[in-house]
Amino acid sequence: MKQVSIGLLGCGNVGSAFVSLLEQRRTTISARTGVELRVTRAAVRSLNKDRGLKLPAGVFTDDAASVVEDPDVDIIVELIGGVDEPLELLRRAVELRKPVVTGNKALLASHGAELFAAADAAGVDFLFEAAVAGGIPLMRPLKASLAGEPVRRVMGIINGTTNYILTRMTDAGIDYRTALGEAQELGYAEADPTADVEGYDAGAKAAIIASIVFGSVVQSTDVYHEGISNITAEDISVADRMGFAVKAIAVIEAFGDNIRNHPEIAIRVHPALVVKSHPLAAVRDSFNAVFIEGEAVGDLMFYGRGAGGRPTASAVLGDVVDAATNMVHGTPGRIGALAPARIRPLDALKSAFYMSLAVTDRPGVLAQVADVFGRHGVSIQSMEQQGLGDRARLIFITHDSVEAAVKATMAELRHLDAVVDVHSAIRVIGGEG
C-alpha cells in the first residue's frame, strides 16, 4: 500500500466535507487503487474554530506556505478561493513538482493558462473538476471520452442561484426581488448577489470550459455578461405560454470550417428563452447542466449539483484519487498548450430574440414598428398583441439576426412616438425548426 499525503489549503465548507468524505471512503479507495490517502497538513485562517473533523490537532496551521513547502506533503488541494494568494501558493506547488487539485474558478479563469503550462512543464497533474460544475463529472469526460471530438457548441446552466431564482419565478409567479429574497434566506444567494445574478460566476466557469474544449486561452474578461435582474414575471409567463422556459445560460460557440484547430470563439452569459423540448429547459431549482454538441457523439448533457459542500467535495476527491494514482504510477495527465484565443465580438453573432414592446394602440403602429425591424434586416418569426389602448403590448420573436442589427432596431424603436418602452429583449434558443 502506497501512502500519499495531502496538504489542504482552506478548510471551509468544501474543505471540511472533503476531509469527512475521505475518512468515509479511505478503505474503499485503498482497495480499488492500492493508495492510502491522508490529510497530513491543513492550512486555515483561524486555528481556534472547531470544524468537527477527526484530524490530529497538529495537522492544522495558519501558515499556508508551510503546507506547500512541507517535504512530506505529496499533493496540494487548494480550496481557499480568491486569486492572489492561491496563485502564489500553486505556482510554488507546481515548482516543487507537487500535483495540484483546485476548486478555484476565479483563479483558473484569470491565470489558468499559466498554471496549466507550468504543470505540464513540471510533469505534474493540475486538476480542477470542482471548479466548473461542482459535483458533475465534466472535465474528466471532456479530457478523456471526448478527447479529439470537435465541438460546435456548449451551452450550460452553470449557476445554481440564478436557476433557482428563475425556477421560483416560474413556479410561483413571483417577481425577481421576491425570488432573490427567498434564495438569500435559503443560503443559495449571497447578501451581495452580484457575482451570481450578473453572470460573473457563470462567466468564469464558461471561460474554463472554453479553454479546455477549444484549447485556447479564454478568460473571464472575454465573456459577454447580461444579468437576470430585468426579467419580469410577465416575461416568464408569456414565454411559458409560447412554449419556452426562461433560463440563465452560458453559450460557447466555435466558428469556421475547421473547429478542430483553435477556432474563433464566442462566449457569453445571458438569460434566454429555451424551447421546452430542449433538455436544458427541464433543469430546475439549483441544479446545473452542461449540454455539449459534439460532431460524432452528437448531443450530450451532464446534469447534477453545481455547488454545495458534499457534491463539490466529491469532485475534489475524484481528482485527488486520480492525482495520487497518477503520481504513484508516474503517469500524470497533460492539459496541452493553449493557443491565444480569437474571440468573436457579440455584435457579430446571430441570435433570435423575444421582444416585448409597450405601445400606444393606434392605427398604423404595427406597420411603423415592423418597418423598423425590416429596415435593419431583422425578420420576424411571430408577433402577437396583448391588451388595448395605452396599455397595449407587442410581443415579437425574431429569426436569427445579427446582434448589432437588433441593437440598432431597439434604439430606433425607442424613438417612435407610439412606443412607450422596449420592455424586454431576451435571446431565444431552439425556437426554430
Of 255 and 303, the one with the shorter C-beta distance to a second copy is: 303
Near a second copy by CB under 8 A: residue from 129, 196, 235, 403: 129
Q: How far is the CB of 77 from a second copy (least distance, A)?
A: 16
> Angle CA(78)–CA(79)–CA(84) in degrees, nearest 5?
75
Q: Is 113 exposed, middle or buried (0-12, 13-18, 19+ CB in 10 A)?
A: buried
**Window contacting a second copy (CB under 8 A); options: 17-25, 230-238, 248-256, 378-386:** 17-25
Pick one of 132, 254, 266, 283: the residue that binds a second copy (CB under 8 A). 283
131 to 160, contacts with a second copy by CB under 8 A? 135-137, 140-141, 144-149
From 29, 157, 212, 425, residue interacting with a second copy (rule: CB under 8 A) = 29
Q: Is 310 in the site for a second copy (CB under 8 A)?
A: yes
Q: How far apart are CA 268 and CA 282, in angstroms?
A: 21
Contact 166, 344 (CB under 8 A): no
Pick out residues in 225-264 that bind a second copy (CB under 8 A).
260
Residues 6+ apart with CB under 8 A from 27: none
Residues with catalytic annotation?
205
243 touches 275 (CB < 8 A): yes
Nearest distance, CB of residue 302 and a second copy, angstroms: 6
Q: Is 246 exposed, middle or buried (CB count within 10 Å of its CB: 0-12, 13-18, 19+)? A: buried
Verify binding: residue 321, a second copy, rule CB under 8 A.
yes
Closest to a second copy by CB, 240 vs 400, is 240
Binding-site size, a second copy (CB under 8 A): 55
Taking CB under 8 A as the rule, does residue 165 contact a second copy? no
Q: How far is the CB of 355 from a second copy (least distance, A)?
A: 27
Half-sphere CA count of 72, side-chain side, radius 13 A: 8
Tell me which amino acid residue 115 is.
L
Q: Does 15 bind a second copy (CB under 8 A)?
A: no
Interacting residue with a second copy among 193, 263, 304, 430 (CB under 8 A):
304
Sorted by sequence, the CB contacts under 8 Å of residue 43 that are 6+ apart come out as 7, 8, 9, 10, 11, 60, 61, 62, 63, 64, 66, 67, 80
**Residue length of the chain:** 433
Task: Please count the other Cβ atoms lying within 10 Å of the Cβ belonging to residue 16.
Answer: 22
φ, ψ for residue 75, nearest 5 deg: -125, 140
Q: How far is the CB of 29 from a second copy (least distance, A)?
A: 5
Which of 329, 362, 391, 414 lies at the binding interface for a second copy (CB under 8 A)? 329
Judged by CB under 8 A, the residue of 282, 346, 383, 408 near a second copy is 282
Minimum CB–partner distance for residue 231 and a second copy (Å): 21
- To the nearest whole angstrom, how small is the minimum distance from the Cβ of residue 106 to a second copy? 23
Task: State which residue, 129 or 235, has the beta carbon closest to a second copy.
Answer: 129
Q: Is 279 in the site for a second copy (CB under 8 A)?
A: yes
| Interacting residue ranges for a second copy, rule: CB under 8 A | 17, 21, 25, 28-29, 31-33, 129, 135-137, 140-141, 144-149, 260, 277, 279, 281-284, 287, 289, 294, 296-305, 308, 310-311, 313-315, 317-318, 321-322, 329-331, 334, 336
